[in-house]
Each structure stands twice: as structure tokens, then as C-alpha cells.
């Protein structure tokens, strides 16, 4: 790939490593995003029929904030960190230098097509890398805006947008990038990792899965219903960390379901199809997949269940008494369908979570701190929210990423910087003192001496 070589040549000029250069590029990016705010929001409307509010919050506001955070902190993050040196290496200085990887590849999915290209890019720029961005081929309008923004404002040998589907990506993942940052499904994540392994390219995999949401008997049900309905139906449920299914304590299940139904009507009105605040599914393939779930699990639906394939509309739908044999529990739902399972004791809920692949997020609603600590301690997930959903994502001070099946590696804030940096250990030894103890010819005397030091 000649283009990659051109980018590598540019990277090795060292220009992108200059702190002032990184800050200038981030500042420019921030200005350009603000300038194109309407274009980005309109593109999201065209691709996902996403409400302006949701688009601003999730793809513009959070990104502008993240760029500001990186600009304000990257000098601190890049600082050389002095560390101690053992006496055996007298006289040396040791330190850790954060070094960019070089030219990195960022592959993004369709559901937050702008954010999931730019958020990792912020880390890549902050760390001093060049980057190739591969936006989703499903969101043509957003991908074209991304292309325009970078083609018109950044050197192509520094940041390049490459569009395309499977063929393009196959070429990309078999090329000698210095790092691959992939966001998408578990299935494609495995393909990416396999491709990257040929050239031993390090990867971050931000994947998906079924994120459980536990509602304990002592939860504030009204607040839980509002927060869950918001998090589940935002972007019509096409969020990697939306609550995939609910585990509700038997004693509060009926009351909670009533609350949830009330909230959904309050948020979107009686005629949800007509609501300007409810998005559409990305394409016909995914709409059909969700319709299949509705049709298969029809007799358990207690709310919603309507759809319109032509308009890619799936109504917020509640499936009661879901079981693991139901279609809705087969894989990640990634749509506005919410299965409900009940439990009688918190240990049972913990067992259910631990019996499945490690989720990207775990949510728990409880007023009992001990229960919260117990669940955090005894389960494993990429991240956790107590008495909320999704919002751990929006705190730049928290690492965001999966574990096990939900991915590997973290990003956001300083974690993004670290992800796109190699921590290089440097030992710098003085020549004024030359310790000959370790050199041959070895002797018993030398061995005794070294044993006194290395113990
Ligand atoms: P996807 O895996 O189908 O696509 C992601 C990217 O991979 C796209 O750019 C696509 O072009 C590319 N791709 C598709 N098929 C490929 C193949 N055979 N070989 C190589 N590349 C290929 O994912 P999607 O449908 O766009 O997005 C939904 C998935 O992404 C869900 O599973 C969701 O949970 C996950 N996701 C995860 C996060 C996270 O932060 N962990 C965020 C958003 C979405």
C-alpha cells in the first residue's frame, strides 16, 4: 500500500510528534467540527433519522468536550516519567517515554458513525500518530462528511479517510499499520484480530454483547424506569452499551413494568411512530432481524411490537418472562426491544450474569450500597453504572472498554492517549563509573558479590 508508505515517511519526519503540532491539530479539529455541526446533524438525520438533540449530545457535544480535555492535558500526559533505578544499575537514570505507534488504523461501526471515528482519533492525534480512518459503509451521509472534513482540512499523509466495505477493510487489516483500533461486532472483531496477528499489529477491540440491567427490590423504581427507558430507546436502541435485557426482582416486577410503560408513553407519546424524538434502524437487514425477534417472541410481548419495514421503524417493545431459548436472548439485540427476566435473590442475578460471556456494561439499580459493592465485586464487565445506564461512557476520567467477549483495551481521556502510545522504558547509564562485576571472566568471588546485590 503506497499510501501507507507515504504516511509512514511523513510520520518519520517527526512533525506529528511535536506537542505544539498536536495541540494545533486538535484545536483545528474542534473548530471544524463546530463549523460543520449542522452538516453532521443533517447527515445523521438522513442515515438514522436521529433527533437533533440525541445527535448533538452523543456525537458533537461529547466530542468537543473530549477534544478540549485532550488539549488541556496532553502536555501532562506526554511528560517523561522518571522512575527509580535499582542499585545494581548504578549510576543510571531511568524514565518512561510515551512514544506514538506511528500510523494507526481506526475502523468504526454505524451506530455512532461520527463519534466512533473521532473519539479514538483524538487519542491518536494527542499521542502524535498519523491515522487512517475507515468509517462505516452503512452511514453514507456521515461518512461523506467525515471524508470532506479531513480531505479539505488535513494533510492526506497525516489523516486519511478511506471508505468502503469488506474488500477495502480486508486490504487494510492485512497492511502493516502500527496499531489497529476497531469498534464493531464480536464477529468482525475476530476477523480484524486474525488479520492483525499476521503482522503482529497490536489491537484495541471495542465490541458489543448483551449488557444486563439488574433492578433490585430496593431500587427507586420511578427513576430506574426513566433512566432505563432513556438509555434503551436513545438511537432506537442501537448502542453498544444500551441495557440489552432486564433482570428484575420478582417482588417489584409488575410495579416496575407499569412505571416503564408510563415513561415510554411520556417520552414518545401514544403514537411513537409519529414521535420526532425516536430514531430509526440503520437498514433493512437490521430491521428484518429485529422484526424476526418480535414475530418469534410475539406471545410474550406486553408493550409495543409494531413495526414498519419500509420506514425501518421498530416500536419500543417489552418482552415479559423472557427465557434463554427465546429469539430475543440469542444475541445482542441492538434495537428497541427489551426482554424482562425475573429473579428472587441478588445471588441469582449474579449467577445469571456470570453464566454468560462478560458484558461490555453492567447496570444495577439499588439503594443498598452493600448490594452494589457485592455485584461490582462478584461480576466482571467492561464498565458499571449504579442507578444509571450508559453515562459511565461520558466521563473522560473513566476508562471505557470491554473485557473477555466484549473486547480488549480501553480508551477515553488519558486512556486514549495511552492506548495510542507505546510506553518506552529508557535506562541511561553514566560512563564515569564502570561496574565490571557483570563482565566475564566470571568467578566465584563475582558470583558471591552479585548474590549480595540481587536478592
Ligand atoms: P460491524 O462489526 O458489522 O462493522 C464495524 C466495522 O467493521 C465497519 O466499518 C464495517 O465496514 C467493518 N466490517 C464489516 N464486515 C467486515 C468484515 N467481514 N471484515 C472486516 N471488516 C468488516 O458492526 P456494526 O454493525 O457497524 O456495529 C454494531 C456492532 O458494533 C454492535 O455489536 C455493537 O455492540 C458494536 N459497537 C461497539 C462499541 C463499543 O464501544 N464497544 C460501540 C459501538 C458499536
pTM (predicted TM-score): 0.96
Question: Grid coordinates 558470583 are at which residue?
Answer: 447
325: in domain: yes
Cα(116) to ligand 1 centroid in Å equals 10
Decide which of 452 and 206 is more confident: 206
CA distance 132 to 445: 57
Which residue in the list 117, 130, 213, 240 is annotated as catalytic?
240
- Are 252 and 322 members of one domain? yes
- Are 38 and 134 members of one domain? yes
- Are 305 and 350 members of one domain? yes
- Are 108 and 219 members of one domain? no
**Binding site membership of 185 for ligand 1 (Cβ less than 6 Å):** yes
349: in domain: yes
- Are 177 and 249 members of one domain? no
Cα(413) to ligand 1 centroid in Å equals 22
Residue 244 has phi, psi (to 5 degrees) of -80, -40
- Are 102 and 118 members of one domain? yes
Confidence grade of residue 68 (pLDDT, cut at 50, 70, 90): very high
Cα(111) to ligand 1 centroid in Å equals 9
- Are 238 and 305 members of one domain? yes
CATH number of the domain that residue 289 is part of: 3.40.309.10
240: in domain: yes
444: in domain: no
201: in domain: yes
446: in domain: no
Which residue in the list 54, 59, 206, 259 is annotated as catalytic?
206
- Are 267 and 411 members of one domain? no
The 10s digit of each residue's pLDDT in 308-365 is 999 999 999 999 999 999 999 999 999 999 999 999 999 999 999 999 999 999 999 9
CB 384 within 8 Å of CB 362: yes
- Are 185 and 235 members of one domain? no
Q: Is 213 a catalytic residue?
A: no
Q: Is 332 a catalytic residue?
A: no
Per-residue model confidence (pLDDT) at position 235:
97
Question: How high does pLDDT run on average in the chain?
Answer: 97
- Are 141 and 289 members of one domain? no
- Are 148 and 219 members of one domain? no
| Lowest-confidence segment of 117-126, 184-193, 434-443 by average pLDDT | 434-443
437: in domain: no
Per-residue model confidence (pLDDT) at position 435:
86
231: in domain: yes
The 10s digit of each residue's pLDDT in 369-404 is 999 999 999 999 999 999 999 999 999 999 999 999
| pLDDT tops 90 at residue 166 | no
| Lowest-confidence segment of 10-14, 87-91, 332-336 by average pLDDT | 87-91
Q: Which domain holds residue 270?
A: 212-401
| pLDDT tops 80 at residue 1 | no
Q: Which of 134, 184, 209 to mutate to test the pocket of ligand 1 (most atoms within 8 A of CB)?
A: 184
Which residue CA neighbors atom 39 of ligand 1 most closely?
Answer: 206
- Are 192 and 339 members of one domain? no
Name the CA dihedral angle for 374, 380, 382, 388, rounded to a multiple of 10 degrees: -30
Structural domain count of the chain:
2
CATH number of the domain that residue 22 is part of: 3.40.605.10
Amino acid at each position: 500500500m503506497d499510501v501507507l508508505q507515504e504516511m509512514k515517511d511523513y510520520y518519520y519526519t517527526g512533525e506529528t510528534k511535536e506537542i505544539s503540532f498536536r495541540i494545533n491539530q486538535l484545536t483545528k479539529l474542534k473548530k471544524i467540527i463546530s463549523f460543520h455541526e449542522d452538516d453532521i446533524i443533517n447527515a445523521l438525520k438522513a442515515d438514522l433519522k436521529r433527533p437533533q438533540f440525541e445527535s448533538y449530545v452523543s456525537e458533537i457535544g461529547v466530542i468537543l468536550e473530549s477534544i478540549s480535555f485532550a488539549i488541556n492535558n496532553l502536555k501532562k500526559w506526554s511528560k517523561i516519567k522518571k522512575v527509580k533505578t535499582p542499585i545494581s544499575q548504578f549510576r543510571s537514570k531511568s524514565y518512561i517515554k510515551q512514544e506514538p505507534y506511528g500510523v494507526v488504523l481506526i475502523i468504526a461501526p454505524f451506530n455512532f458513525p461520527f463519534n466512533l471515528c473521532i473519539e479514538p482519533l483524538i487519542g491518536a492525534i494527542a499521542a502524535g500518530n498519523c491515522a487512517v480512518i475507515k468509517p462505516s459503509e452503512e452511514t453514507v451521509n456521515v461518512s461523506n462528511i467525515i471524508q470532506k472534513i479531513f480531505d479539505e482540512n488535513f494533510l492526506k499523509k497525516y489523516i486519511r479517510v478511506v471508505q468502503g466495505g469488506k474488500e477495502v477493510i480486508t486490504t487494510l487489516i492485512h497492511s502493516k499499520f502500527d496499531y489497529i483500533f476497531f469498534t464493531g461486532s464480536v464477529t468482525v472483531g475476530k476477523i480484524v484480530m486474525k488479520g492483525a496477528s499476521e503482522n503482529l499489529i497490536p489491537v484495541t477491540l471495542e465490541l458489543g454483547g448483551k449488557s444486563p440491567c439488574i433492578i433490585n427490590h430496593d431500587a427507586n423504581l420511578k427513576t430506574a424506569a426513566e433512566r432505563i427507558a432513556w438509555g434503551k430507546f436513545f438511537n432506537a436502541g442501537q448502542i453498544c452499551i444500551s441495557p440489552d435485557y432486564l433482570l428484575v426482582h420478582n417482588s417489584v416486577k409488575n410495579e416496575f413494568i407499569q412505571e416503564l410503560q408510563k415513561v415510554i408513553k411520556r417520552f414518545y407519546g401514544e403514537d411513537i411512530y409519529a414521535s420526532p424524538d425516536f430514531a430509526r434502524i440503520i437498514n433493512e437487514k437490521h430491521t428484518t432481524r429485529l422484526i424476526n425477534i418480535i414475530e418469534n417472541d410475539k406471545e410474550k410481548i406486553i408493550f409495543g411490537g409494531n413495526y414498519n419495514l419500509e420506514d425501518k421503524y421498530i416500536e419500543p417493545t417489552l418482552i415479559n418472562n423472557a427465557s434463554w431459548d427465546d429469539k430475543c436472548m440469542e444475541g445482542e439485540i441492538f434495537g428497541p426491544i427489551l426482554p424482562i427476566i425475573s429473579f428472587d435473590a441478588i445471588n441469582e442475578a449474579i449467577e445469571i450474569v456470570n453464566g454468560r460471556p462478560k458484558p461490555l456494561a453492567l447496570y444495577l439499580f439499588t439503594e443498598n450500597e452493600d448490594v452494589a459493592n457485592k455485584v461490582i465485586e462478584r461480576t466482571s464487565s467492561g464498565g458499571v453504572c449504579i442507578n444509571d445506564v450508559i453515562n459511565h461512557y461520558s466521563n473522560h476520567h473513566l476508562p471505557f472498554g470491554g473485557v473477555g467477549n466484549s473486547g480488549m483495551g480501553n480508551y477515553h481521556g488519558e486512556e486514549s492517549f495511552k492506548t495510542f502510545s507505546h510506553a518506552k522504558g529508557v535506562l541511561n547509564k553514566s560512563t564515569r563509573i564502570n561496574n565490571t562485576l557483570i563482565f566475564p571472566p566470571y568467578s566465584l568471588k563475582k558470583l558471591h558479590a552479585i548474590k549480595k546485590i540481587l536478592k
